[in-house]
Amino acid sequence: MLRYMTAGESHGRGLLAILDGMVSGLSLSPEDIDRDLARRQKGYGRGGRMAIEKDRVEIISGVRRGKTIGAPISLFVPNKDFRADGSEPVRTSPRPGHADLAGALKYNEYDLTNIAERASARETAARVAVGAICRKFLRDFGVRIVSWVSAIGGVPISPVKDPLKAFACAEASELRSPDRSAEKKMKARIQEAIRKGDTVGGSFDVAALGVPPGLGSFAQWDVRLDGRLAQALISIQAIKAVEIGQGIKVAFGLGSQAHDEIFYERGRFCRRTNHAGGLEGGITNGENLVLRAFMKPISTLGRPLRSVDIVSKKPTKAEVIRHDVCAVPAASIVGEAAVAFELARAFLEKFGGDSLGETKRNFKAYMAQVKRF
């Protein structure tokens, strides 16, 4: 079973991740992971923290001579903004929309810094490191995961027809937008938010290309791949909703407009539309996997909302600390990592194997079976 855990605080020594269950024989170097860590740090509207951190991973275990050995892979991403003396002031004014107050009540903690340190989205650097390994594994099976920003501050992009083209354009954009006209309007919204001491949210799309049919299951609720992917995405800090395929749109139309007709062409079953987003009955159907996640505006505002001091119980303003104005581009990279992990986990559940070679043999046999069907 593929699984992982992360540890570490926003301003602690660094972030840790342990990925357990990855096959042996997978080529892996720190550079494979550092590329995605660097992509996560980019984006118009990011705060001062990204000017400090230059994320680089240290592979502590599980890799020898450039290949995984089947043992747990442990990763460490140091924090340059490490506050060794613990000199941060005690914070007692919770931010609306943040984990501050809920966490303080849960852990009986009157210093909100102790809540924010772990609740912080800085933790996603560890998830991206794990996802980079899973991405490398999936590439050996012809699966490619891409993403782009689909809206910021209420400004949507034009519909995407070619995921690879959209991804290439997004990689060259400060906002990871494949639509240059929309990008200009997005930047204007971010600038407006900066002037007003506010923040903006948005949405991003993740697509997995080359996914074989048969991953996931309808046999039990907790093995449905659509549910697992949705949970993985909505667990990312500030994500409040997830769509698969056409998502909400199909709920307001007719069945004849919502479902993808089935054809048999060139020796395979196929669709000419993909309203389902590549998932039917909790199982991949062989079409591209398409998901969209919606991110709320960052909770820390330059002009803070009203709050209550948790010690004095008197009205106050929420704390103002260093923060991003818009982090949707960075969240899209985290979304890629979340999808990569869940797909890699589903791959290993379906095809098994303790070594990459064994998994490839099983995968090859299954795809031959699918072709003969």
Report pLDDT digits (tens) over 93-129: 999 999 999 999 999 999 999 999 999 999 999 999 9
Whether the predicted pLDDT of 323 surpasses 90: no
Rounded to two decimals, the pTM is 0.95
86-372 homologous superfamily: Chorismate synthase AroC (3.60.150.10)
Q: DSSP for 60-81, please give it.
A: EESEETTEEESSPEEEEEE-SS
User: What are the two backbone dihedrals, phi and then psi, of residue 71, each rounded to the nearest 5 degrees?
Assistant: -85, 165
pLDDT band at 283 (very low <50, low <70, confident <90, very high): very high
Q: Which two tokens stand for residue 339?
A: 């999808």
Provide the pLDDT for residue 73. 98
Under 8 Å between Cβ of 318 and 95: yes
CA trace torsion 236, 238, 241, 245 (10° rounding): -50
**Average confidence (pLDDT) over 15-30:** 98
CA nearest to 177, candidates 193, 198, 153, 197: 153
Provide the pLDDT for residue 355. 98
> What is the 8-class DSSP label of residue 245?
T
SS3 137: helix
CA trace torsion 365, 368, 372, 373 (10° rounding): 70
Under 8 Å between Cβ of 136 and 15: no
pLDDT band at 49 (very low <50, low <70, confident <90, very high): low
> What is the 8-class DSSP label of residue 55?
-
Three-state SS sequence of 323-340: CCCCCHHHHHHHHHHHHH
High-pLDDT (> 90) share of the chain, %:
91
pLDDT band at 342 (very low <50, low <70, confident <90, very high): very high
d(CA 72, CA 88): 35
Label the pairing between strands 144-152 and 315-317: unpaired
CA nearest to 19, candidates 6, 34, 4, 32: 4
d(CA 107, CA 8): 17
Q: Which two tokens stand for residue 344?
A: 């890699």
Provide the pLDDT for residue 84. 61
pLDDT band at 298 (very low <50, low <70, confident <90, very high): very high
H/E stretch holding 317: strand 315-317
Q: Which two tokens stand for residue 40?
A: 């996560």
Q: Which two tokens stand for residue 69?
A: 């050995």
Q: DSSP for 148-211, please give it.
A: EEEEETTEEPPPPS-HHHHHHHHHTSTT--S-HHHHHHHHHHHHHHHHTT----EEEEEEEESP
Q: Which amino acid is at 264?
A: Y
pLDDT band at 81 (very low <50, low <70, confident <90, very high): confident
Domain boundaries, the chain: 86-372
List all residues 6 or more positions away from 5 whose beta carbon is below 8 Å from its beta carbon.
17, 18
**Average confidence (pLDDT) over 255-264:** 95
